[in-house]
Amino acid sequence: MRFLPTIKTPADLRALSIDDLGVLAQEVREAIFEQVSKAGGHLAPNLGVVELTIALHYVFDFGHDRLLFDVGHQCYPHKLLTGRLGLLGKLRTREGMAGFPEPRESAFDLFSVGHAGTGISTAVGVARGDSLNGEGFDPAKNPGGRRVVSLIGDASIVNGVAMEGLNGAGVLQRQFLVVLNDNGMSISKPQGAMAAYFDRLRLNPIYGEMKKTARRVLKNLPGGSLVEDAYHRMGEAAKAALCEDAWFEHFGLVTVGPIDGHDLPTLIEFLSEARDFDRPMVLHVKTVKGKGYRISEGDSTTFHSPAAFSYDPDSCRVELKKEGRSFTTAFGEAMVELMSRDEKVLACTAAMPGGTGLDKVLPKFPERSFDTGICESHAMDMMAGLAKTGWKPFFAVYSTFVQRAFDQAFQEVSLQGLAVRLCLDRAGLVGGDGAVHHGFCDISILRVLPKATILGAADEPSLKAALEFMRTYEAGLSAVRYPRDNVAETPLGGSECPPFVLGKARAIREHDRPDAAVLAFGVMLYDAARAIESLGPEHRVSLYDARFAKPVDAELIRSLLARGIPIVTVEDHGPQGGFGAAVVEAASEMGLNAGLVTRMALPDAWIYQDGRSAQLKEAGLDAASIASTLRAAIDRRGASGGTGGAGGQPIIEVRPHAPARAPAGELRP
């Protein structure tokens, strides 16, 4: 009998025997492995928490109690145990299961979570809110109240927000459980002094004997509770034997562990005791990232979030499916070349060497490349310090994570006039990771900084040229953005890209008297080119690679608008404060007719998980939508006699956006 198909709610799970849970764990592992091998997704982090997730749902009732995730890419087992097996086959698509916790899918997911470090703080807020509502668990006054559990792992405990959350948790006067999933890994090898602390703790041979001694002592307590009596009836020696993680004790949290995160009976025993504890507690659980398969255990970095792959279990041979050359790969190789030419260039990432391409840089330049762990704010400040001492720092970071370091970009970089260079991977729509990872606001938050310059890379040659421009830009912060996508096999304008010149666009296709002009920022240049091609020769449309969102090419804008030529701006960024907004502002400042400008940008709405091309179509930024917008702009010009829109108001072209909907099989516990 297979157990997983029978699990519609966690109540079905709790009806199983502990022996059956081991079989269920294997079924969950197999289901996740099979689906991710077909279509990609987060593999190793989910394989590592199967037993832990089963034990949590076995002990707690999260239809009533609260489970809050940190680093939500560990949620697949949780979703399968809360009735979403039917959505697994279309994982990370609109019709299927999101790759991160998603309240639109199920009330078992309290927050959409995709950024590290947040889980403890949100859990503290939920715990306080439940207590204020009279719904918080209290073993004496309200034994039927809600318990709160925060599951944190993949080294996100080193994040500054997690530290702040622990500081807040330590003063709670109620039950509060932090489960620390310690797998010795982040997305890649964890960095920093705290990671070294946990390494020492896991490898300390004294740990095993201490734990055995503590368990023997505790079992001999007549009627004693594993945790409560140890703290209320025993002395400091017993406490020390039970609490090796003294570091957390300084925050005021009782600490238990580490315990084996793949031993279901032990997990259930400890969680059952922790469930009714009346004070904040950390349960330190040691797991193996990628557990259950040799390929993922042996290379949990590669299999953290792989593309689809084929796997021969007999030979353990793996072949990752290749779908072209990515911007990330092109960036990594360009940085190796740049650092080889200029010994003052150095590189940094925040726990994403593979995801940003710096895994090619770190082994070649170990003295000039850094991985700070999941600490974007620290990384930005460290880059400021390096810039202050005469170095040329490049910080490779996902667009969705750069806002976590905006205060540092403002205070320690821009205000000081320092030249820190940001390389924004995953800019725009990111595909299967969905709304939690879209890079939709990097232009708007960075454009406000004086002396900052923002570049867009359309292809590999322009990415290399942008990096070279940034290498010599010393006036302030600079940033180049590029998508989670492949570079064009045949670059527009050829493989030889002219150098970037501050605030100047590049003509790709130019007419003396065009019907309209497209200013495309970044990779949207290619969708715009396809749109223009589809219009046919009867429409003369000039195409420009805008290159800069700050400063925009004022001379080009003046030339076009002064002649009454409509401009369509295209960008994979939000409409507020983006590239199109900068063009409109420039037109207004020059006293030109902004009514001739039509802005195409991401809609002012959330776009959920799906393929990137499907998301672009939904956003109205595919070639067909751009072509339709161009026709409308040309028709408006003809109808107004070439004077542009009425009242000089720019047009914001946003395609109708379907309201957010939960996938089929929406759950409510």
Distance CA(372)–CA(212), nearest Å, equals 36
Distance CA(101)–CA(98), nearest Å, equals 7
Q: What pLDDT score does 154 carry?
A: 64
3-class SS letters over 125-185: HHHHHHHHCCCECECCCECCCECEEEEEECCHHHCHHHHHHHHHHCCCCCCEEEEEEECCC
Average pLDDT over all residues of the chain: 87
All CATH 3.40.50.970 domain ranges of the chain, comma separated, are: 61-75+99-204+244-286, 327-481
- Alpha-carbon distance values, 323 to 6, 488, 656 (Å): 37, 12, 31
Q: To 10 degrees, what angle do helices 554-562 and 579-589 make?
A: 70
Distance CA(316)–CA(308), nearest Å, equals 16
Asked whether 395 and 421 are in contact (CB, 8 A), the reply is: yes
Active site (annotated) includes residue 376: yes
Q: What is 560-595 written as a DSSP string? A: HHHTT--EEEE-SS-STTSHHHHHHHHHHHTT--GG
Which listed residue (84, 404, 464, 637) is catalytic? 404
Distance CA(613)–CA(168), nearest Å, equals 42
Active site (annotated) includes residue 289: yes
Least Cα distance to 577 among 479, 451, 448, 481 occurs for 448
Provide the 10 A C-beta neighbour count for residue 653.
23
Q: What pLDDT score does 653 carry?
A: 67
Tokens for 404? 């976590």
Strand partners, 392: 345
Provide the 10 A C-beta neighbour count for residue 339.
21
Distance CA(361)–CA(347), nearest Å, equals 8
CATH fold, domain 507-653, is: Rossmann fold (3.40.50)
Which residues of the chain are under the pLDDT cut of 50? 186-188, 192-224, 226-245, 644-647, 656-669
Q: What pLDDT score does 312 carry?
A: 74
In a 3-state reduction of DSSP, which class is residue 353? helix
Q: What pLDDT score does 100 carry?
A: 92
pLDDT 10s digits, 639-651:
776 554 444 677 7
Which listed residue (102, 376, 460, 468) is catalytic? 376
Question: Which amino acid makes up residue 138?
Answer: D
All CATH 3.40.50.920 domain ranges of the chain, comma separated, are: 507-653
Distance CA(468)–CA(590), nearest Å, equals 31
Active site (annotated) includes residue 322: no
CATH architecture of 327-481: 3-Layer(aba) Sandwich (3.40)
- Count Cα neighbours of 553 within 13 Å in the Cβ-side half-sphere: 23
Tokens for 587? 């037109």
Q: What pLDDT score does 241 carry?
A: 37
pLDDT 10s digits, 304-339:
888 888 887 766 677 777 778 999 999 999 999 999
Question: Which amino acid makes up residue 242?
Answer: L
Sign for the CA dihedral angle at 39, 44, 47, 49 comes to negative
How does 489-528 read in b/e, with b if 16+ C-beta sit within 10 Å? Answer: eebbbeeebeebeeebbbebbeeeebbbbbbbbbbbbbbb
Q: Does domain 61-75+99-204+244-286 have CATH number 3.40.50.970?
A: yes
Q: What pLDDT score does 246 carry?
A: 61
